[in-house]
């Protein structure tokens, strides 16, 4: 079922639910908030553990020039599996105001690339270009493995946040529950890198940037229905020494991708014992995201990464791939342009990624055993729109409207013709991710 159909069905259910009379009850799970200083409850304290299991697959295709223009050719198949245990503590500090601390622990994260060819055995464009046609990487069949990433694990970030319920239906059943949240996901752990000279030398999962996230949720229960809506925006902030560096010159994109998100959903109360604070609800939701253009970790970021044997800035090109890790430019010293020379410039791996949208839906079950224990589970699927993952601009045009690739003040230092030139770019298609979420919480 398409995301549009899911959204339409949920909207219809919300309209039907709104026709019923209101009752005094808890809000949807997404608008749950801790509190403090209540007459019958001095403070709230919640401990939550959430397991997230994701399986992603995608086709990595490549542009190829023909007599009539560029077409897309099948090249690689991508697959990734990850397991994350998110540990979170919420504690009330004021009336309907809570602070929270969370730490997502990546238990397992690994990906691989396989050949994707219609018939027969042939080298992929990617391997033929960036592995030099090495016989060791020649496939032995249509499904042969091209690349396997290291198995990554560890803490991804440290999250600090605050949530405020502007309105709370539990206190006033004439109003919806409306929450506002701000989260700072701090990149305080080791950042992930990939070095072909030491493939397992870095198994970290840090992203190399902080994330500032603003979120709002609104829910309103009507008898046995509790519709909700949410939206969020994520602003990344690069950290010092991260893989996202401003290399100067004509670099046109530096920062990681920003993300905006919207969710519409519905909880159906299947069973409830309000006196004992017990209930079972079925949850359905549809969501959409916009990933703005920017630099990011694409499906090819590890295979594209340069080797530590390629020493940046020097003229010794040992270990430097000609198509990715070398640039030919004229240096400017004291305002004087020097002779053109080829220098080592190991590719950082992260690329300029085209803006794209994601759409999906989830279905789940929520069980509150009593006043102190609750469980939640969700299962869903999301799709990414097709998008280019190597999409850097040549640089900043000069007075004549052209970019002089030999002029360091105009040329984009992250641009590579072998992957960014139209007719050679890589594009992700058929990208889908299956999600499984299982959550348990203790509430005091």
Q: Is 329 domain-assigned?
A: no
Q: Is beta strand 209-219 parallel, antiparallel or unpaired with respect to 225-238?
A: antiparallel
DSSP state of 414: T
**pLDDT of amino acid 415:** 96
Give every CB contact of residue 411 below 8 A, 6+ residues apart in sequence.
249, 250, 327, 329, 394, 395, 403, 404, 405
Token reading at 73: 């050719």
**pLDDT of amino acid 94:** 94
SS3 341: strand
The total domain count for the chain is: 1
Q: Is 414 domain-assigned?
A: no
CATH number at residue 83: 2.40.128
Q: Is 417 domain-assigned?
A: no
Q: Is 402 domain-assigned?
A: no
Token reading at 147: 């690349």
> Can you give the pLDDT of all 444 residues of the chain as single tens digits?
444 444 444 444 333 333 333 333 456 899 999 999 887 778 899 999 999 999 999 999 999 887 777 899 899 999 999 999 999 999 999 999 999 999 999 999 999 999 886 533 456 788 777 654 333 344 444 558 889 999 999 999 999 999 999 999 999 999 999 999 999 999 999 999 999 999 999 999 999 999 999 999 999 999 999 999 999 999 999 999 899 999 998 999 999 999 999 999 999 999 999 999 999 999 999 999 999 999 999 999 999 999 999 999 888 998 999 889 998 877 665 666 667 889 999 999 999 999 999 999 999 999 999 999 999 999 999 999 999 999 999 999 999 999 988 888 899 999 999 999 999 999 999 999 999 999 999 999
Q: Is 307 domain-assigned?
A: no
DSSP state of 29: G
Token reading at 258: 């920003």
Burial class (CB in 10 A: 0-12, 13-18, 19+), 140: exposed
Q: Which domain holds residue 55?
A: 3-302+356-396+429-443
Please give the Cα distance from 186 to 188 (Å, whole number).
6
**pLDDT of amino acid 336:** 66
**pLDDT of amino acid 339:** 79
- Token pair 């086709």: residue: 59
Give every CB contact of residue 395 below 8 A, 6+ residues apart in sequence.
249, 250, 251, 252, 403, 405, 410, 411, 412, 415
Please give the Cα distance from 123 to 135 (Å, whole number).
10
> For the chain, how big is the Rg over CA atoms in Å?
25
Q: Is 155 domain-assigned?
A: yes
Are 441 and 48 in contact by the 8 Å Cβ rule? The answer is yes
Sign of CA pseudo-dihedral 132, 133, 134, 138: positive
For residue 378, is it left (φ>0), alpha (ψ between -120 and 50) or beta? beta
Are 53 and 85 in contact by the 8 Å Cβ rule? The answer is no
């Amino acid at each position: 079922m398409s995301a549009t159909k899911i959204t339409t069905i949920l909207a219809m259910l919300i309209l039907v639910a709104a026709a019923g009379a209101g009752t005094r009850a808890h809000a949807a799970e997404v608008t749950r908030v801790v509190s403090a200083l209540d007459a019958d409850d001095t403070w709230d304290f919640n401990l939550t553990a959430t397991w997230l299991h994701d399986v992603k697959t995608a086709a990595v295709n490549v542009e190829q020039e023909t007599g009539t223009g560029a077409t897309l050719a099948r090249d690689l198949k991508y697959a990734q599996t990850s397991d994350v245990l998110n540990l979170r503590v919420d504690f009330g500090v004021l009336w309907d105001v809570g602070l929270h601390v969370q730490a997502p622990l990546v238990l397992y994260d690994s990906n691989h690339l396989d050949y994707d060819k219609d018939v027969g055995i042939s080298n992929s464009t990617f391997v033929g270009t960036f592995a030099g046609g090495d016989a060791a990487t020649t496939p032995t069949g249509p499904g042969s493995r091209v690349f396997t990433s290291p198995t990554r694990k560890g803490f991804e970030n440290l999250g600090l946040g605050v949530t405020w319920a502007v309105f709370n239906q539990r206190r006033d059943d004439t109003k919806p529950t409306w929450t506002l949240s701000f989260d700072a996901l701090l990149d305080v752990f080791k950042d992930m890198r990939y070095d072909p000279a030491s493939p397992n030398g870095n198994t970290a999962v840090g992203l190399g940037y902080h994330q500032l996230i603003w979120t709002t949720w609104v829910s309103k229960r009507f008898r046995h229905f509790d519709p909700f809506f949410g939206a969020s925006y994520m602003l990344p902030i690069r950290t010092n020494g991260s893989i996202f560096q401003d290399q100067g010159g004509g670099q046109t994109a530096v920062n990681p991708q920003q993300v905006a998100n919207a969710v519409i959903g519905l909880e159906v109360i299947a069973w409830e014992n309000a006196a004992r604070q017990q209930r079972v609800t079925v949850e359905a939701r549809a969501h959409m995201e916009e990933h703005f253009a920017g630099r990011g970790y694409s499906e090819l970021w590890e295979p594209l990464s340069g080797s530590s044997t390629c020493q940046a800035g020097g003229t010794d090109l040992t270990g430097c791939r000609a198509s990715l890790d070398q640039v030919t430019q004229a240096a400017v010293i004291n305002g004087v342009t020097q002779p053109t020379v080829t220098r080592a410039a190991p590719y950082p791996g992260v690329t300029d990624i085209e803006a794209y949208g994601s759409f999906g839906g989830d279905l789940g079950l929520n069980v509150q055993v009593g006043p102190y224990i609750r469980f939640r589970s969700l299962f869903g699927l999301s799709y990414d729109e097709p998008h280019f993952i190597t999409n850097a601009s040549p640089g900043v045009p000069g007075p004549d409207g052209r970019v002089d690739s030999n002029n360091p003040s105009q040329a984009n230092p992250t641009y590579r013709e072998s992957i960014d030139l139209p007719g050679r770019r890589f594009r992700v298609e058929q990208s889908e991710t299956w999600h499984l979420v299982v959550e348990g919480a203790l509430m005091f």
